[in-house]
Chains A and B, each alone.
Chain A
Amino acid sequence: MTGLLDNLLNGVALGSVYALIALGFVTIFKASGVLSFAHGSLLLLGGYLVAVLHDDLGFAGALALAVVVTALVAGALDRLVLQRVGTDSHAAHVQTIVTIGIDILLVTDLARRIGGDLLTLGDPWGDSVTDLGPVTVADSRIAAIVVSAVAIAGAFALFRFTPWGLSLRAAAEDAEAAALMGVRLTRVRAIAWCLAGGLAALAAVFLVAFPAPGLERTTGQIALKAFPAAILGGMASPVGALVGSMLIGLTEALVAGYQSDLHVLGEGFGDVAPYAVMVLVLLVRPTGLFAARGAARV
Chain B
Amino acid sequence: MNVTHPRPRTTRTAVAAALAAVLLAGTGCSSKADGGSTGDGADGVKSGPGVTDKAIKLGALTDLTGPYATLGKSIVQAQQMWADETNAAGGICGRKVEIVVKDHGYDVQKAVTAYADISPDVVALPQVIGSPVVAALLDDIQRDKVLTFPQAWAASLLGKDAVQVLGTTYDLDMIAAVDFLTRTKKVAEGDTIGHVYFEGDYGANALEGSQWAARKAGLKVVGQKIKATDTDLSAQVSALRKAGVKAVLISAGPAQTASLAGVAASRGLRVPVVSSAPGYAPQLMKTPAAAALEAMVHVVSAAPAVSSDLPGVKKMVASYGKKYPGSPVDSGVLSGYNAAQLMGADLKKACEDGSLAREDVVKAHRSQKNADTGLGTPQDFTDVAAPASRSTYVLKPDRKAVGGVVNVEEAHQAPGVDEYLASRG
Contacts and interface: CB of A to CB of B under 8 A. Distances in A.
Give the 9 A-B CB pairs with smallest separation, nearest first.
A256-B235, A116-B70, A213-B258, A211-B263, A116-B69, A212-B232, A3-B242, A129-B266, A127-B288
B234 A213 contact: no
A7 B238 contact: yes
A271 interface: yes
A116 B246 CA distance: 32
Contact of B239 (A120, A127, A207, A257): A257
A253 B68 CA distance: 28
Contact of A218 (B222, B228, B238, B243): B228
Interface string B257-288: 01100110111100000000000010110111
A115 B70 contact: yes
Contacts of B227: 268, 271
A263 B72 CA distance: 37
B4 interface: no
Contact of B255 (A6, A207, A213): A213
Contacts of B70: 115-117
Which of B222, B262, B266 counts the most chain A CB atoms within 10 A? B266
Contact of B292 (A127, A207, A214): A127
Nearest to A267: B225
B108 interface: no
Query: Which of A6, A136, A207, A212: most chain B Cβ within 10 A?
Result: A212
B236 interface: yes
B231 to A, nearest CB: 5
A120 B284 CA distance: 10
A194 to B, nearest CB: 28
Contacts of A222: 229
A279 B235 CA distance: 23
B223 interface: yes
Given A127-B288, A267-B223, 11 more contacts: A6-B238, A118-B281, A118-B284, A127-B289, A138-B263, A207-B232, A211-B266, A213-B231, A218-B229, A221-B229, A257-B239
B222 A260 contact: yes
Interface string A249-266: 000110111111000000
B228 A213 contact: no
Contacts of A127: 262, 265-266, 288-289, 291-292
Nearest to B241: A3
Given A127-B291, A268-B226, A216 B69 contact: no
A47 interface: no
A248 to B, nearest CB: 13
Interface of A: 3, 6-7, 10, 14, 111-112, 115-118, 120, 126-129, 136, 138, 207-208, 210-214, 216-219, 221-222, 252-253, 255-260, 267-268, 270-271
Contacts of B233: 211
A118 B290 CA distance: 13
B67 A213 contact: no
23 contacts: A111-B65, A115-B69, A115-B70, A116-B69, A116-B70, A117-B70, A118-B286, A120-B286, A120-B287, A128-B266, A136-B266, A210-B288, A211-B234, A212-B255, A213-B259, A214-B287, A218-B229, A222-B229, A253-B234, A259-B236, A259-B239, A267-B223, A268-B225
B234 A10 contact: yes
A213 B268 contact: no
Interface residues of B, number: 49
Contacts of B228: 218
B53 interface: no
A14 B231 CA distance: 13
Contacts of B284: 118, 213
B336 to A, nearest CB: 15
B289 A136 contact: no
Contacts of B223: 267
Contact of B235 (A136, A207, A214, A252): A252
B199 interface: yes
A94 to B, nearest CB: 28
A259 B289 contact: no
Contacts of A138: 263, 266
A29 to B, nearest CB: 25
Contacts of B199: 268
A210 B233 CA distance: 10
A213 B262 contact: yes
A14 B287 CA distance: 21
B288 A120 contact: yes
A213 B68 CA distance: 17
Contacts of A260: 222, 239, 243
Contacts of B259: 211-213
Nearest to A114: B69
Nearest to A3: B242
B71 interface: yes
Given A218-B228, A260-B243, A213 B235 contact: no
B239 to A, nearest CB: 5
A176 B286 CA distance: 54
Contacts of A126: 288
B382 interface: no
B232 A117 contact: no
A116 B67 contact: yes
Of B68, B286, B287, most buried by chain A (CB within 10 Å of CB) is B287
B254 interface: yes
Contacts of A270: 235
B199 to A, nearest CB: 6
Contact of B65 (A112, A211, A219): A112
Contacts of A116: 67-73
B78 to A, nearest CB: 15
Contact of B224 (A6, A136, A210, A259): A259
A7 B225 CA distance: 18
Contacts of B241: 3, 6
A111 B283 CA distance: 17
Contacts of B287: 118, 120, 213-214
